[in-house]
Chains A and B, each alone.
Chain A
Amino acid sequence: QKEVEQNSGPLSVPEGAIASLNCTYSDRGSQSFFWYRQYSGKSPELIMFIYSNGDKEDGRFTAQLNKASQYVSLLIRDSQPSDSATYLCAVIRYGNKLVFGAGTILRVKS
């Protein structure tokens, strides 16, 4: 079992819809959870981080964390074609090193 699992996709949504990206992790000791966006040929850029159960909203983005279910998600409201990218889920188990999932490809169709 991988430490961080994501559906590779691609996830296709129409412009204006809500995109829902999901991630599960295996280690209950994981402390912090991050969502990065990576455009093709570019380096990852941080979108959001969350470390408490519940929801955290930032503009069109909402991160949701459920530690009991070992599940973290990212919702993108009013999806735009510019949101098309690979979304990487990452967790910190101990220390400060990130463990990444393989990423989910999101395609927003206009």
Chain B
Amino acid sequence: GAGVSQSPSNKVTEKGKDVELRCDPISGHTALYWYRQSLGQGLEFLIYFQGNSAPDKSGLPSDRFSAERTGGSVSTLTIQRTQQEDSAVYLCASSLGLAPSYNEQFFGPGTRLTVL
């Protein structure tokens, strides 16, 4: 596909369950990012992958959150023991991963997570 894709588009889960969110970046983009947007809030950075470098995990809110990127392409964000405050739209973005001045990030449609 031409753009960033994410699945599922919607996920409803019960408190305490684990969830996995998937992101397929734009082909050829070496950088991949996860953000979340809570109702009425701005976008909050979670984690960033660049090529084979160690990911920047500085935005992960707790150790219940983790992410991996396999083969330099697809990424999975995992939230363990979900809490109601985890309810948000989780957005994935990708970029060519060039110098910051040229780092145009393109966003996927997001996964809306609802924790009951």
Binds B, one of A10-18, A74-82, A92-100: A92-100
Q: Which of B56, B91, B108 contacts A97 (CB 8 A)?
A: B56
Interfacial chain A residues near B50, Cβ < 8 Å:
96
Indicate if the CB atoms of A43 and B100 lie closer than 8 Å.
no
Contact A32 B100 (CB under 8 A): yes
Complex Cα gap A88–B44 (Å): 12
Q: Is the CB of B45 within 8 A of A96?
A: no
**Interface residue tally on B, bucketed by range:** 20 to 34
- Tell me which residues across on chain A come within 8 A of B103, comparing CB atoms: 32, 92, 96
Complex interface: chain B residues within 8 A of A49 (CB): 104
Q: Assess whether A96 is in contact with B95, with CB atoms less than 8 Å apart.
A: yes
Determine whether B59 belongs to the interface, using a CB cutoff of 8 Å to chain A.
yes
Contacts of B56 in A (CB 8 A): 95, 97
14 sampled A-B residue pairs with Cβ under 8 A: A31-B101, A43-B109, A44-B107, A49-B104, A51-B100, A92-B103, A95-B56, A96-B33, A96-B48, A96-B95, A96-B100, A97-B33, A102-B41, A102-B42
Q: List the interface of chain B (C-beta within 8 A of A).
A: 31, 33, 35, 41-45, 48, 50, 56, 58-59, 91, 95, 97, 100-101, 103-110
Query: What is A's interface to B at a CB cutoff of 8 Å?
Result: 31-32, 34, 36, 42-46, 49, 51, 88, 90, 92, 94-103
